[in-house]
């Protein structure tokens, strides 16, 4: 335990999207912070007084040795190997705050599915924490996330430590390893004038700016009794359609696009490299924030437009190299020749269809009878 009344807090991960924000928030609260990570992603945004433990979290023996003899008031697991982290933390903390993902909800993720529009299922809008979860065996990645959630909540029930678990959604902000905004930003930098939008960009997908998600976690840190044993959605409160998302980025960068609607089935993953993959969701994927607002008093601290400005500034200073691993992570091939062929085909088809007349013209009439003139 730390000297005096200072809380001693461990962050596993801590150098990615939300980590440095959490570190600063904990230091502001008077916590003594220790960050455990691989050492491959050091950042100057973590103050020098913070202790670092460098260890490969994937190696359980190394992890247990690194934690030997250490005690923490609270541990935050921001690492993907949640089961391994939670198992190693038994006996080292009385409280665990863990992070998973929203794709545990039924129908929310099909990685690499070539028939995305046929296999994805619409979920409730918005989806609450007690909404149906995905069935096992439909996606290996989702299976692991479900297992991790179940494991940490079982740790809570068995009394190993009090657990609060968060479901993150698509994140954005500085240090994001798979920045979906780069699909728009790079096309602007490359001088593209036309931008393909599946389904007209009318789908709404919840997104979470790093500072907003970190704020939700810190609210749980501050309210251990209210949050113990709970699972929370956390993301931005303000919802934008995919079209508004692209328009906001283009407005910030002062580069208007001609936005071109494309039928969803044509824009499926792997088909003609038709559009940035993050725009391919066929249904709304909206997370309810009612529970975290009611329990912890959550409100977003940064709205999407200023959040995107910060994200874009970071991307311009730290942009991925064409063909790099970061570009690969977002699944965008930036195949402009394929895009242009598809756009030209769509324009030709629409022109041909407009030249034809299909069916009998309809003349609208009011459903209730209205005499031409009032009777005297």
The 10s digit of each residue's pLDDT in 181-220 is 999 999 999 999 999 998 899 999 999 999 999 999 999 9
Query: Tokens representing 141?
Result: 């990645």
Supply the pLDDT for residue 308. Answer: 98
Q: What is the pLDDT of residue 268?
A: 59
Specify whether the CB–CB gap between 74 and 9 falls below 8 A. Answer: yes
- Of 40-44, 156-160, 230-234, 350-354, the poorest mean pLDDT is in 40-44
By DSSP bridging, strand 95-101 and strand 8-12 are unpaired
> Tell me: the pLDDT tens digits for 256-313?
999 999 887 777 554 544 567 778 778 899 999 999 999 999 999 999 999 999 999 9
Higher pLDDT, 365 or 77: 77
75/84 Cα distance (integer angstroms): 14
pLDDT higher than 90, residue 120: no
Q: Is 334 in a helix, a strand, or coil?
A: coil
Residue 192 lies in a domain: yes
> Is pLDDT at 343 greater than 70 in this prediction?
yes
Q: How confident is the model at residue 4 (pLDDT cuts 50, 70, 90)?
A: low
CATH number at residue 170: 3.40.50.720
Percent of the chain with pLDDT over 90: 64
| Choice between 146 and 354, residue whose per-residue pLDDT is larger | 146
Q: Quote the CA–CA distance of 31 and 33 in Å, as a whole number.
A: 6
Q: How much is the pLDDT for 128?
A: 97
- Nearest to 59, CA basis, from 35, 27, 88: 88
Rounded distance, CA 117 to CA 269, Å? 10
Residue 89 falls inside a structural domain: no
CB under 8 Å to 100, separation ≥6 — which residues? 82, 145, 148, 149, 165, 166, 167, 168
pLDDT for 20 beyond 90: yes
pLDDT tens column, 62-111:
899 999 999 999 999 997 789 999 999 999 999 999 999 998 998 876 55
Q: Do the domain assignments include residue 142?
A: yes
Determine, yes or no, domain membership for 299.
Answer: yes
Q: pLDDT at position 275, please?
A: 61
Tell me if 122 is assigned to some domain: yes
What per-residue confidence (pLDDT) applies to 31?
Answer: 97
Predicted confidence at residue 114, as pLDDT, reads 57
Task: Determine, yes or no, domain membership for 359.
Answer: no
- In whole angstroms, give the CA distance from residue 326 to residue 343: 27
pLDDT above 70 (res 52): yes
**Cβ contact 233:104 at 8 Å:** no
Number of continuous H segments (helices) and E segments (strands) in the chain? 13, 11
Distance CA 2, CA 181 (A): 41
Residue 146 confidence class, pLDDT cut points 50, 70, 90: very high
202/279 Cα distance (integer angstroms): 10
Cβ(7)–Cβ(32) below 8 Å: yes
State the DSSP string of 127-192: BPTTSPBPPTTS-HHHHHHHHHHHHHHHHHHHTSSEEEEEEE-EEESTT-SS-TTHHHHHHHHTT-
Strand partners, 273: none
- Supply the mean pLDDT for the chain: 89
Q: Answer for the pair 296, 233: CB distance below 8 angstroms, yes or no.
A: no
What is the rounded distance in angstroms from the CA atom of residue 313 to the CA atom of residue 310? 5
Q: Is 332 within 8 Å of 183 (Cβ atoms)?
A: yes
DSSP code, position 169: -
Q: Domain total for the chain?
A: 1
Which residue has better confidence, 1 or 304? 304
60 — pLDDT class (breaks 50, 70, 90): confident
Flag whether 7 is in a domain: no
Number of other residues whose CB lies within 10 A of the CB of residue 323: 10
Q: Which domain holds residue 135?
A: 94-350
Backbone angles phi and psi of 222, in degrees to 5: -75, -20
Does residue 167 form part of some domain?
Answer: yes
369: number of Cβ within 10 Å? 6
What confidence score (pLDDT) does residue 3 get? 46
What is the SS3 assignment for 26? helix
Q: Describe the crossing of helices 82-89 and 140-158 by its angle, rounded to 10 degrees.
A: 20
Which of 78-82, 121-125, 355-359 has the highest average model confidence (pLDDT)?
A: 78-82
pLDDT, residue 29, reads 96
For residues 332 and 370, the model is more confident at: 332
User: Where does 318-372 have alpha helices with state H?
Assistant: 325-330, 336-355
**If 0-12 CB within 10 Å is exposed, 13-18 middle and 19+ buried, where does residue 285 land?**
buried
- Confidence check: pLDDT of 342 > 80: yes
The confidence score (pLDDT) of residue 271 equals: 52
* pTM tops 0.75: yes
> CB neighbours of 328 closer than 8 A, spacing ≥ 6?
none
């Amino acid at each position: 335990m730390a000297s005096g009344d200072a809380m001693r807090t461990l962050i596993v991960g801590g150098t990615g999207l939300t980590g440095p924000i959490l570190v600063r928030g904990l230091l502001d609260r008077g916590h003594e912070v220790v960050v455990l990570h691989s050492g491959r992603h050091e950042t100057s945004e973590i103050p020098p007084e913070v202790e670092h433990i460098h260890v490969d979290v994937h190696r359980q023996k190394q992890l247990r040795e690194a934690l030997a003899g250490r005690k923490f008031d609270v541990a935050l697991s921001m690492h993907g190997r949640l089961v391994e982290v939670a198992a190693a933390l038994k006996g080292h903390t009385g409280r665990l705050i863990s992070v998973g993902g929203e794709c545990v909800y039924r129908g929310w993720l099909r990685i690499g599915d070539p028939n995305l529009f046929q296999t994805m299922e619409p979920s409730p809008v918005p989806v609450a924490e007690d909404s149906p979860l995905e069935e096992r065996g439909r996606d290996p990645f989702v299976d692991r996330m479900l297992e991790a959630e179940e494991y940490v909540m079982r740790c809570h029930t068995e009394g190993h430590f009090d657990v609060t678990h968060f479901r993150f959604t698509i994140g954005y902000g500085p240090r994001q390893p798979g920045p979906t905004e780069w699909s728009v930003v790079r096309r602007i930098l490359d001088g593209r004038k036309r931008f393909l939008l599946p389904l007209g960009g009318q789908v709404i997908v919840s997104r979470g700016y790093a500072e907003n998600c970190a704020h939700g976690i810190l609210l749980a840190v501050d309210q251990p009794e209210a949050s113990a044993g709970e699972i929370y959605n956390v993301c931005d409160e303000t919802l934008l359609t995919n079209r508004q998302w692209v328009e906001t980025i283009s407005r910030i960068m002062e580069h208007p696009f001609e936005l071109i609607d494309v039928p969803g089935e044509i824009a499926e993953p792997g088909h003609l490299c038709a559009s940035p993959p993050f725009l391919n969701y066929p249904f709304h994927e909206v997370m309810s924030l009612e529970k975290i607002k009611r329990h912890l008093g959550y409100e977003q601290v940064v709205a999407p437009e200023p959040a995107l400005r910060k994200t874009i500034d970071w991307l311009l200073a730290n942009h991925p190299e064409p063909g790099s691993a970061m570009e690969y992570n977002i699944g965008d091939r930036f195949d402009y020749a394929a895009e242009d062929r598809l756009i030209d085909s769509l324009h030709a088809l629409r022109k041909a269809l407009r030249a034809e007349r299909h069916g009998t013209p309809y003349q609208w009439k009011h459903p209730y009878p209205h005499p031409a003139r009032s009777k005297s």
